[in-house]
């Protein structure tokens, strides 16, 4: 059978932790068009946590080396801790597997370019798990932006914060860390859990369907609301992109509201785009048109898996490749250089709920929403945490 005729790609799931288990669920509860032929994870007793492993007799390996010594796969789906992605992706490409790697791909531009080269040299694809880049509403909006329908982008802003407490940080050794086991991880809400809307803004302005608009500079305010976290966990950031668009982003974990936002707006020369949780992407043009692109939720989050399996089968390449995350990576690194202020513990109230404990910074929601309304950083309008 030729490469193009692989009717049901064999898939290896590399790490089935908090997020990776979604791939396991999707592939064992639905027909995604491929078959799981192995799992690679170092966690003990995985089959007790996921009985389906035993039911479907899925072999579990402790390393990619062990897996590839016995089996082959046309697609590897990597959901391991961030600092392991680059080496794992490279190993899979070298063994002839296409790769769908969870975001972020890695932590440096050099590694990103090296991995893109490895994918080219091996003739395999390296796709990333930025699910909004697979969203049909967002793709059709991006096509119209690229066609110049709304003119130049002037400014964009988005608030997206999610409450996270002790259990979230306790789930692994890299959560909330700047480094883990000597590796850089730079974990934060901006880097990780709430990265998607920022990456989407850069993706929407990218000069091609595969690329994202790069950032050139940052100013901003970083805070640590949860004293148990090493890195910052509250960020209000203003980037200027390479082509001069202002991008404001507000994100945090220590807040009372479980999910604040997403709530976004983008002004173009000839129109204003709005989007938000449960809302459609709507562009209102200056000549009175209202273009409804639909909601991002209409495309399933796992579309990326289905696209990767289809592309593996058809010998194609998913749109979201290594370059799609490069601008977010630059933004994370720029932000990481800003000073971090500790929020006074008198402003942090701990609440207990569902066996978890959450630090909540007083009035954080109001500070973010008021700042976003005025396209400002909190300090610029006299607010502080």
Ligand X SMILES: NC(=O)c1ccc[n+]([C@@H]2O[C@H](COP(=O)([O-])OP(=O)(O)OC[C@H]3O[C@@H](n4cnc5c(N)ncnc54)[C@H](O)[C@@H]3O)[C@@H](O)[C@H]2O)c1
Instruction: Tell which one of 3, 30, 42, 121 touches ligand X (CB under 6 A).
Output: 42
- 18 near ligand X, judged by CB under 6 A: yes
- 306 near ligand X, judged by CB under 6 A: no
Pairing of strands 271-276, 282-285: antiparallel
- 170 near ligand X, judged by CB under 6 A: no
Q: How many residues bind ligand X (CB under 6 A)?
A: 22
Q: What is the DSSP letter of 247?
A: E
- 172 near ligand X, judged by CB under 6 A: yes
Q: Which residue is nearest to ligand X (CB)?
A: 17
Give me the least distance between CB of 180 and ligand X, in Å please.
Answer: 10
Q: Computed from CA positions of residues 266, 267, 270, 273, in that sequence, does the dihedral angle turn out positive or negative?
A: positive
> If you search the block for the tokens 């991995």, which residue do you land on?
115
**Segment contacting ligand X (CB under 6 A): 11-19, 89-97, 178-186, 252-260?**
11-19
Residues 87-106 that bind ligand X (CB under 6 A): 102-103
Q: Which is nearer to ligand X, 175 or 205 (CB)?
A: 175
Contact between residue 303 and residue 191 where contact means Cβ atoms under 8 Å apart: no
The pair of structure tokens assigned to 198 is 């920022």
Instruction: Tell which one of 3, 43, 183, 344 touches ligand X (CB under 6 A).
Output: 43
Give the contact letters, 101-130, x = binds to ligand X (CB under 6 A), - = no.
-xx-------------------------x-
- 20 near ligand X, judged by CB under 6 A: yes
Provide the CA 330 distance to its chain's centre, in angstroms: 14
Give me the least distance between CB of 185 and ligand X, in Å please.
Answer: 10
Report the distance separating Cα 123 and Cα 75, nearest Å: 13
Give me the least distance between CB of 279 and ligand X, in Å please.
Answer: 19
Q: What is the dihedral of CA 12, 18, 22, 28, to 10 degrees?
A: 60
The pair of structure tokens assigned to 68 is 């590839």
Q: Which is nearer to ligand X, 173 or 244 (CB)?
A: 173
Residues 127-146 that bind ligand X (CB under 6 A): 129, 131
- 84 near ligand X, judged by CB under 6 A: yes
Provide the CA 173 distance to its chain's centre, in angstroms: 19
The pair of structure tokens assigned to 133 is 């880049």
Which residues, 6 or more positions from 227, have their beta carbon under 8 angstroms from its beta carbon?
Answer: 342, 345, 348, 359
Give me the least distance between CB of 49 and ligand X, in Å please.
Answer: 9
Q: Which is nearer to ligand X, 162 or 343 (CB)?
A: 162
Q: Which is nearer to ligand X, 78 or 204 (CB)?
A: 78
**Segment contacting ligand X (CB under 6 A): 12-20, 154-162, 278-286, 350-358?**
12-20
Give me the least distance between CB of 151 and ligand X, in Å please.
Answer: 32
What is the H or E stretch that residue 154 is in? strand 153-162
- 37 near ligand X, judged by CB under 6 A: no
Contact between residue 156 and residue 247 where contact means Cβ atoms under 8 Å apart: yes
Instruction: Tell which one of 11, 13, 39, 40 touches ligand X (CB under 6 A).
Output: 40
Give me the least distance between CB of 100 and ligand X, in Å please.
Answer: 11
- 41 near ligand X, judged by CB under 6 A: yes
Which residues, 6 or more positions from 257, have their beta carbon under 8 angstroms from its beta carbon?
Answer: 161, 163, 365
Q: Which is nearer to ligand X, 112 or 192 (CB)?
A: 192
Angle among Cα 232, 238, 241 to the nearest 5 degrees reads 120
98: helix, strand or coil: strand
**Segment contacting ligand X (CB under 6 A): 41-49, 114-122, 214-222, 256-264?**
41-49
Q: Which is nearer to ligand X, 98 or 241 (CB)?
A: 98
Phi-psi region of 294 (alpha: psi -120 to 50; beta: other; left: phi over 0): left
**Segment contacting ligand X (CB under 6 A): 75-83, 106-114, 137-145, 254-262?**
75-83
- 188 near ligand X, judged by CB under 6 A: no
Which residues, 6 or more positions from 237, have their beta carbon under 8 angstroms from its beta carbon?
Answer: 190, 218, 219, 220, 221, 248, 249, 250, 331, 335
Pairing of strands 271-276, 75-78: unpaired
Interface with ligand X (CB under 6 A): 15-20, 40-43, 79-82, 84, 102-103, 129, 131, 171-172, 192
């Amino acid at each position: 059978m030729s490469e193009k005729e692989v009717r049901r790609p064999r898939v290896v799931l590399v790490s089935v932790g908090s997020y990776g288990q979604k791939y396991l669920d999707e592939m064992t509860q639905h027909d995604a068009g491929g078959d799981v032929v192995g799992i690679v994870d170092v966690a003990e007793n995985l089959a007790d946590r996921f009985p389906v492993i035993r039911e479907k007799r899925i072999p579990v390996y402790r390393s990619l080396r062990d897996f590839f010594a016995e089996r082959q796969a046309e697609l590897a789906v990597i959901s391991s801790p961030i600092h392991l992605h680059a080496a794992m992706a490279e190993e899979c490409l070298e063994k002839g597997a296409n790769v769908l790697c969870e975001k972020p791909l890695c932590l440096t531009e050099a590694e990103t370019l090296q991995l893109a080269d490895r994918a080219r040299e091996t003739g395999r694809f390296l796709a990333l798990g930025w699910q909004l880049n697979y969203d049909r509403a967002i793709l059709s909006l991006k096509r119209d932006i690229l066609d110049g329908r709304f003119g130049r982008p002037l400014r964009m802003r988005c608030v997206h914060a999610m409450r996270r407490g002790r259990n979230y940080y306790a789930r692994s050794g890299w959560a909330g860390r700047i480094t883990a086991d000597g590796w850089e991880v730079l974990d934060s809400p901006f880097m990780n859990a709430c990265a998607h809307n920022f990456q989407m803004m850069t993706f929407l302005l990218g000069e091609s369907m595969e690329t994202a608009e790069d950032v050139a500079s940052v100013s901003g305010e970083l805070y640590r609301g949860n004293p148990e976290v090493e890195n910052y966990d509250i960020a209000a950031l203003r980037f200027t992109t390479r082509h001069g668009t202002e991008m404001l982003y507000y994100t945090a974990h220590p807040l009372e509201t479980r999910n604040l936002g997403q709530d976004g707006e983008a002004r173009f020369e000839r129109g204003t785009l709005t989007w938000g949780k449960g809302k459609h992407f709507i562009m209102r043009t200056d000549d009175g048109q209202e273009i409804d692109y639909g909601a991002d939720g209409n495309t399933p989050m796992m579309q990326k898996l289905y696209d990767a399996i289809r592309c593996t089968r058809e010998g194609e390449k998913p749109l979201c490749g290594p370059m799609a995350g490069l601008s977010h990576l630059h933004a994370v690194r720029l932000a990481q250089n800003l000073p971090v202020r500790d929020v006074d513990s008198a402003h942090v109230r701990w609440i207990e709920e569902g066996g978890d404990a959450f630090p909540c910074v007083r009035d954080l929601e109001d500070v973010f929403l008021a700042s976003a309304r005025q396209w400002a950083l909190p300090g610029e309008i006299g607010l502080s945490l």
